[in-house]
């Protein structure tokens, strides 16, 4: 087998948007990925299905892979013919040992490329409103390790000289050793009152900045329980933080919001929440599976001409229909004939993505609104085919039949409670560490209760605010004895996020 290739790629400091376009391309092309602890999970979602993921960082109860093991693994995988992506936090070279890995690859004759990444040394300041250089204030900066290789005989960082040689000092891995670093800098002539910023988990939703001084820094590390990973910035530029901080000042910064959805659907809500600054904690409560019997849907499709309307009531339904057609060797042309109705904007978008125009889509995302609109179209004597979840509400059917339509309902998927859930999330919820729990459908409410058992679920929810996407979901919650704190006027994911933002507006 021909030799593969290795890419040493910087994943950026944490915000999944901060990987480069080239880095992402390499990631998508690779079939083996070796990744570090500081590489965000969201970036890993870009890895193609079936890619072998090898975690090189420390695990809770295991040792991390040693550098030699990482080198050996990289070389071995590439020699086996794989395209290997070595994904590192920040930039692969800046205290990243990327150069050492490249040397090993070279020795083994493996072709490689190195893709720079946005280093936390610069990004932490950018996201905390602390520019590393600033006209009139700082015209130089240095990036320094606070954690010298303990195997080296003598420390090579000359803190005393650095103290006054550069305007802004950016220190990585310096939390543990800050006391002696500060002492050395002061001994080297830096003013003890020089402002210092500790930015931990920079660019992540949980980013936190603590402002201090050289003199007080050690006490503040203890007082504010500052833990790695953190970037320490020393210099007058730190003063800009009070005016330029933006990432931590977003409307939901510091809030933790539970997203109870299906695995497939969670990402949109999570993305919008994190855009507003919240930490989205995903707890899948639903699984989408095939209907027990495809017969009714298949038969309906085989005589699609006999229907006047095809009604789709969710994105999951649209995807299920598409997959079923493909599975049977058909495609969307098999749906030609009836006019198309969608329950809401997201469903309409999913349909349009298949290249099918939607004829009717109500503004409000509930079955009643869709029924009203269809009735407005004049459905008396018409034949409606409704493709939807096996266990959906029957409003559309009743209203349609009342209006004189002949309604055929065919299940195209089923929703079942998730098989398992993450205990640590439920623990956090019980401890009041989650501010808001979102429910984006009645079934998420029901399945959440079912998954945990009613008593445990209620207890877990007692300390969080409950947000429901619309009136139906809200009444499912109140019927089950839950209190609903947040409910948008606009029954969409965007509306839900806005309502949560409103709740926390001061
Ligand atoms: N190659 C990385 C640095 C690796 S050394 C880069 O270019 O960013 C690891 C140190 O980087 C951590 O101890 C911490 O000081 C810093 N670091 C990395 N990511 C960080 C983040 N998101 N927030 C704060 N510090 C971070």
Residue nearest to atom 3 of ligand 1 (CA): 95
DSSP 224: T
pLDDT of residue 137: 97
Coil, helix or strand at residue 409: strand
pLDDT of residue 193: 98
> If you average pLDDT over each of 38-52, 133-147, 265-279, 431-445, which comes out highest?
133-147
- Mutate which of 67, 120, 170, 196 for ligand 1 pocket (most atoms within 8 A of beta carbon): 120
- Mutate which of 16, 17, 67, 89 for ligand 1 pocket (most atoms within 8 A of beta carbon): 89
Axis crossing angle, helix 345-353 with helix 315-327, rounded to the nearest 10: 20
From the list 495, 420, 430, the residue with the least C-alpha distance to 457 is: 430
The DSSP H or E segment spanning 232 is: strand 230-234
Catalytic residue among 5, 15, 36, 88: 36
44 in contact with ligand 1, CB cutoff 6 A? no
252, 277 Cβ separation under 8 angstroms = yes
Mean of pLDDT over the chain: 92
- Distance (angstroms) between ligand 1 centre and the Cα of 147 equals 12
- For residue range 95-153, list pLDDT tens digits in order: 999 999 999 999 999 999 999 999 999 999 999 999 999 999 999 999 999 986 545 55
Query: What does the radius of gyration of the chain's CA atoms come to, in whole angstroms?
Result: 28
Residue nearest to atom 25 of ligand 1 (CA): 230
From the list 281, 242, 288, 246, the residue with the least C-alpha distance to 265 is: 288
* Domains of the chain: residue spans and CATH: 5-118 (3.40.1010.10), 122-249 (3.30.950.10), 256-285+418-504 (3.40.50.10090), 290-416 (3.40.50.10090)
- For residue range 390-408, list pLDDT tens digits in order: 877 788 899 999 999 999 9
CA-200 nearest atom, ligand 1: 24
């Amino acid at each position: 087998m021909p030799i593969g290739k290795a890419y040493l790629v910087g994943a950026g400091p944490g915000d999944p948007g901060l990987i480069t376009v080239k880095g992402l391309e390499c990631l998508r092309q690779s079939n083996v990925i070796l990744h570090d602890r500081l590489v965000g999970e969201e970036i890993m979602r870009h890895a193609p299905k079936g890619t072998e993921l090898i975690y090189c960082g420390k695990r809770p109860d295991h040792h991390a892979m040693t550098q030699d093991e990482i080198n050996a693994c990289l070389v071995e995988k590439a020699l086996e013919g794989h395209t290997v992506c070595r994904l590192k936090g920040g930039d692969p070279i800046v205290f990243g040992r990327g150069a050492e890995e490249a040397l090993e690859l070279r020795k083994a004759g493996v072709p490689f490329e190195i893709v720079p990444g946005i280093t936390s040394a610069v990004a932490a300041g950018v996201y905390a409103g602390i520019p590393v250089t600033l006209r009139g204030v700082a015209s130089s900066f240095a990036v320094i390790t606070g954690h010298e290789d303990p195997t080296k005989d003598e420390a090579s960082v000359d803190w005393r000289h650095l103290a006054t040689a550069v305007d802004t000092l950016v220190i990585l891995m310096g939390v543990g050793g800050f006391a002696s670093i500060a002492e050395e800098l002061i001994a080297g002539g830096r003013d003890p009152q020089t402002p210092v910023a500790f930015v931990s988990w920079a660019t992540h939703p949980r980013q936190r900045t603590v402002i201090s001084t050289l003199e007080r820094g050690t006490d503040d590390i203890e007082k504010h329980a500052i833990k790695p990973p953190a970037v320490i910035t020393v210099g007058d530029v730190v003063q800009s933080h009070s005016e330029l901080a933006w990432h931590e000042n977003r409307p939901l910064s510091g809030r933790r919001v539970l997203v109870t959805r299906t695995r497939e659907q969670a990402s949109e809500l999570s993305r919008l929440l994190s855009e507003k600054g919240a930490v989205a904690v995903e707890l899948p409560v639903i699984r989408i599976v095939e209907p027990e019997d495809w017969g009714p849907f298949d038969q309906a499709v085989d005589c699609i001409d006999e229907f006047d309307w095809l009604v789709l009531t969710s994105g999951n339904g649209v995807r299920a229909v598409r997959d079923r057609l493909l599975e049977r060797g058909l495609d969307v042309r098999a749906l030609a004939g009836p006019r198309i109705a969608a329950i809401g904007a997201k469903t309409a978008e999913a349909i349009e993505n298949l290249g099918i125009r939607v004829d009717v889509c109500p503004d409000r995302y509930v079955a009643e609104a869709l029924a009203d609109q269809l009735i407005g179209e004049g459905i008396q004597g018409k034949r409606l085919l409704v493709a939807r979840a096996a266990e959906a509400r029957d409003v559309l059917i009743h209203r349609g039949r009342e209006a004189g339509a002949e309604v055929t309902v065919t299940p195209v998927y089923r929703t079942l409670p998730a098989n398992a859930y993450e205990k640590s999330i439920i623990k956090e919820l019980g401890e009041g560490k989650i501010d808001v729990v979102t429910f984006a459908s009645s079934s998420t409410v029901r399945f959440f209760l079912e998954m945990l058992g009613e008593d445990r679920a209620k207890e877990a929810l007692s300390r969080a605010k409950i947000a429901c996407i619309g009136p139906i979901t809200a009444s499912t919650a109140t019927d089950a004895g839950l209190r609903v704190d947040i409910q948008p006027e606009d029954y969409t994911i965007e509306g839900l996020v806005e309502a949560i933002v409103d709740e926390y507006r001061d």
